[in-house]
Amino acid sequence: MDARHRVPPVQRHRELPAHVSLSPGARQGAVPRVRGAPVREVKAAAAVATALVLAAGAWLVRAGTAPTTPPRPLTTPSVDGVPGWRPGPDPPAFVLAPDPRADGSLLRTYLDGRRSVWLALDYYPDQQPEARPAARHLVFAGRGWTELRERRHAVTLREPPGATLRTTLVEMRRGDERYVLLYWYQAGPASTGDDHWYRLLALYYRLVHGRPDGALVRVATPVDDGGEAAALARLEAFVNAFYPELLRAMSLAGGTLR
């Protein structure tokens, strides 16, 4: 028996390691599929992106960026402060719960005729790791939902004309009850509905503009006989009435929604 045949099979030249497999029927020379590789690649890419952002932030600080000064807390908006909508009873806690990490939370119901829209506004004057908005924890965790679906959704705004507000749309079901919810993060005049991009947005405003504050906004409504399309249209109408007031309050960093 020659030397090659005395080597264990897994060590033979050109044979694949045990953790690598080819799809059935794969042609010779095909790229092997490594179990777990996509996850590791995503984590590596995320680590690189984070390192680049932190390096850029350190450069900005060394370059003489203005020091961060925490703004005054955002005062509670008035209940009749959304044009065209009137106040109603408190929203259900299982749909909109306040964030205990927020410096202040506003929970309100607004009515357009007999239809309700529920608002939760959580404000964070100085966003630290232990005091940073996390919509997914508030929306998904431990709320008794039997079905949850989410997707990105852009709301066309009337003010400023032609602008869009990028949000996350969540469709929720609990038994026979159905709800739709939109959420987004606000940092100064900028907004995003993406949980990961918000961290970069908050870091940018802290380093470049000296503003560590931000807000998480959630609006929800039940799905009635009009169906999901009508419920979503109702949310978009409310967002168009509410968003200019939110921008004014955030620009004041301590102003009141009126």
Q: What is the pLDDT at residue 162?
A: 84
Instruction: List, for residues 26-46, the tens digit of each pLDDT value.
Output: 434 333 333 333 444 455 446
Instruction: Examine the pLDDT at 179 and tell me if it is beyond 70.
Output: yes
Q: What is the pLDDT at residue 66?
A: 45
Instruction: List, for residues 138-157, the tens digit of each pLDDT value.
Output: 887 666 788 889 999 999 99
145 within 8 A of 176, measured Cβ to Cβ: no
Q: What is the pLDDT at residue 150?
A: 92
Of 68-72, 80-84, 166-170, give the lowest mean pLDDT range.
68-72
Residues, the chain:
258
Going by pLDDT thresholds of 50, 70 and 90, the confidence category of residue 15 is very low
Q: What is the pLDDT at residue 50?
A: 61
Instruction: Examine the pLDDT at 177 and tell me if it is beyond 80.
Output: yes
Of 1 and 197, which is predicted with more confidence?
197
Contacts of 99 (CB under 8 A, 6+ apart): 105, 122, 133, 134, 138, 216
Alpha-carbon distance of 92 to 96, in angstroms, equals 6
Average pLDDT, the chain: 73
Alpha-carbon distance of 107 to 246, in angstroms, equals 14
Task: Name the residue type at position 83.
Answer: P
Listed by start position, the domains of the chain span 1-65, 86-252
Query: What is the arithmetic mean of pLDDT over 166-181?
Result: 94
Rg (alpha carbons) of the chain, rounded to whole number: 25
Going by pLDDT thresholds of 50, 70 and 90, the confidence category of residue 105 is confident
Instruction: Examine the pLDDT at 159 and tell me if it is beyond 60.
Output: yes
Q: What is the pLDDT at residue 92?
A: 92
Q: What is the pTM of this model?
A: 0.69
Alpha-carbon distance of 11 to 9, in angstroms, equals 5
Of 32-41, 56-65, 71-80, 157-166, give the lowest mean pLDDT range.
32-41
Out of 16-25, 65-74, 127-136, 190-199, the most confident range is 190-199
Rounded to 5 degrees, φ, ψ at 181 are: -140, 140
Query: What is the arithmetic mean of pLDDT over 111-133?
Result: 83
Of 19-28, 63-72, 195-204, 234-243, give the lowest mean pLDDT range.
19-28
Of 241 and 80, which is predicted with more confidence?
241
Instruction: List, for residues 182-234, the tens digit of each pLDDT value.
Output: 999 998 788 899 888 888 888 887 788 777 788 899 999 999 998 999 999 99
